Structure 1
Amino acid sequence: MPAQLTWPVEPDGPSAVVLVLHGGRDRSQAPVREWQTAVLRMRPFAGALADASDGRIAVAAIRYAVRGWNGAAASPLRDTELALEQVTGRHPDLPLGLLGHSMGGRVALQLGGDERVRAIAALAPWVEPQDPVRSHPGLHVLIRHGTRDRMTSPKRSKAYAEALAARGVDVTYESVSGGDHAMLRQASQWHQRTADYLVRQLLTD
């Protein structure tokens, strides 16, 4: 089954669009199902974006073809590159944001060099030391990581933020005290803070 793109929120005449990217695994060729936790945990972000933007932001969500990153194949990255073509074809010239969790955060950060992307929110991103630092002029990045995350590394996230800052990128790193990888603790705060950030970056000239 190929990757699927859905539109949880699509108002008439939106002023911006956000693509939501879910998490996954290191290696897996198993298909992604809509009822899997990695997919479900991203749904509240669509509602938070709609509320925070007063209905001015359209929200698309990708469901990858397979659950794994899969080494050099970078499976979700390829899926997302194709999804971006669909999103920008449907809503050309609108400010575009990426919101990714875990593996989805890694995907979002690796698309930081795409000049169509104005803002990125990477939540508990999976960052590897060999990941290239990608950016372009005018990019805004928020990286949030919980202090109790045992799945992905807050230290690597902070180091990536510092590398972006060294390039002159407008980047904010936030350490979430007591936050876990699944974003279950302080869940509403994760949703609201992320939505507020993207609204500010995408709807403010």
Structure 2
Amino acid sequence: MSEPRNDGVQQPALIVTRPCAVPRAAVLLLHGGRADGLRPPPPWNLPEARMRPIGSRVAEVTAGHSVLMGRVRYRYRGWNGTRADAAYDARRALDELAATAGAVPVVLVGHSMGGRAALSAASHPLVRAVVGLAPWCPPDEAAGHLGGRTVVLLHGDRDRTTDPGGSADFVRRAREAGARACALTVTGGDHAMLRRPGIWHALTAGTVAGLLELGPLPRAVGKALDSGAAQTV
């Protein structure tokens, strides 16, 4: 269980966007945020809006397969240093999911700060895989807890907010820790995923479907996972 934190009355961290009576798996989305920020995300939140097309495509490829879909509600806009608030909220959401749905396998899909939160929360026993989109991967980010998980990171080569090299380095360390991990470079891709959106959406949805064994992995993803070599799409 997540460690308690004295932040007053907390709303649930798990927002279920597609319920399922008896789920066989779950997909949780984690949007981006800021390095620092102790105010709640606003009602109209651009980082959350950026994940909606991704969520729609994932919902399409998992429809009819008893896959619960949801997203993580953050208490604060920022990561906030050693507090790692977004990761804490991700673990809370996973605890809440376990309490209501049982031990279902989970794929986490996170963008930017949400990617960092997803990678951190992958230590939770429900998590089987993480798909990170332009993830924030600092050089000292822990990867030792990812043994036995699958990690797929997508990063645009025109990203000026988070470092594509950080994703490649994180994948190397995750593989050393026993993860099945790979990094793919989206040629011309930017941080907001506005350039070549079709590639971002199709690769993410196809990867989630493949990880849940609802279909084959996208060819580039499967090749990267098998070889460990970075791929360009």
- Report how far residue 178 of structure 1 moved: 0.5
- Report how far residue 2 of structure 1 moved: 3.9
> Which of the two has higher C-alpha Rg?
2
Q: Which of 171-180 and 56-65 deviates more?
A: 56-65
Letter in 2 for 1:44: P
User: Does structure 1 residue 17 correspond to structure 2 residue 23?
Assistant: no
- In the other structure, the counterpart of 1:46 is 55
State TM-score, norm by structure 1. 0.92
Letter in 1 for 2:101: H
- Report how far residue 131 of structure 1 moved: 1.2
Secondary structure at the counterpart of residue 185 of structure 2: strand
Whether the 8 Å CA contact 2:57–2:202 is kept in 1: the answer is yes
- Report how far residue 7 of structure 1 moved: 1.7
Q: Which of 10-19 and 63-72 deviates more?
A: 10-19
Segments of structure 2 that go 5 or more residues without pairing to the other structure are 1-8, 215-233
Runs of 4+ in structure 1 deviating by more than 6 angstroms, as ranges, are none
Q: Which of 43-52 and 156-165 deviates more?
A: 43-52
Secondary structure at the counterpart of residue 160 of structure 1: helix
- Report how far residue 33 of structure 1 moved: 2.2
Letter in 1 for 2:28: L
Whether the 8 Å CA contact 1:16–1:58 is kept in 2: the answer is yes
- In the other structure, the counterpart of 1:78 is 88
Secondary structure at the counterpart of residue 144 of structure 2: coil
2:142 pairs, out of 132, 141, 151, with 132
- Report how far residue 153 of structure 1 moved: 0.3
Q: Which of 74-83 and 133-142 deviates more?
A: 133-142
- Report how far residue 136 of structure 1 moved: 4.2
Whether the 8 Å CA contact 1:114–1:135 is kept in 2: the answer is no
Letter in 2 for 1:146: G
Letter in 1 for 2:52: R
Letter in 2 for 1:100: G
Whether the 8 Å CA contact 1:19–1:61 is kept in 2: the answer is yes
Whether the 8 Å CA contact 2:143–2:177 is kept in 1: the answer is no
Secondary structure at the counterpart of residue 35 of structure 1: coil
Letter in 2 for 1:31: P
Whether the 8 Å CA contact 1:112–1:135 is kept in 2: the answer is yes
Number of aligned residue pairs? 205
Percent identical across equivalent pairs?
36
- Report how far residue 24 of structure 1 moved: 0.6
1:162 pairs, out of 169, 172, 182, with 172
- In the other structure, the counterpart of 2:223 is none
Secondary structure at the counterpart of residue 203 of structure 1: coil
- In the other structure, the counterpart of 2:222 is none
State TM-score, norm by structure 2. 0.82
Q: Which has the higher contact order (CA 8 A, sep 6+)?
A: 1
Whether the 8 Å CA contact 2:57–2:201 is kept in 1: the answer is yes
User: Does structure 1 residue 111 correspond to structure 2 residue 121?
Assistant: yes
What is the distance in 2 between the residues matched to 1:134 and 1:62?
A: 23
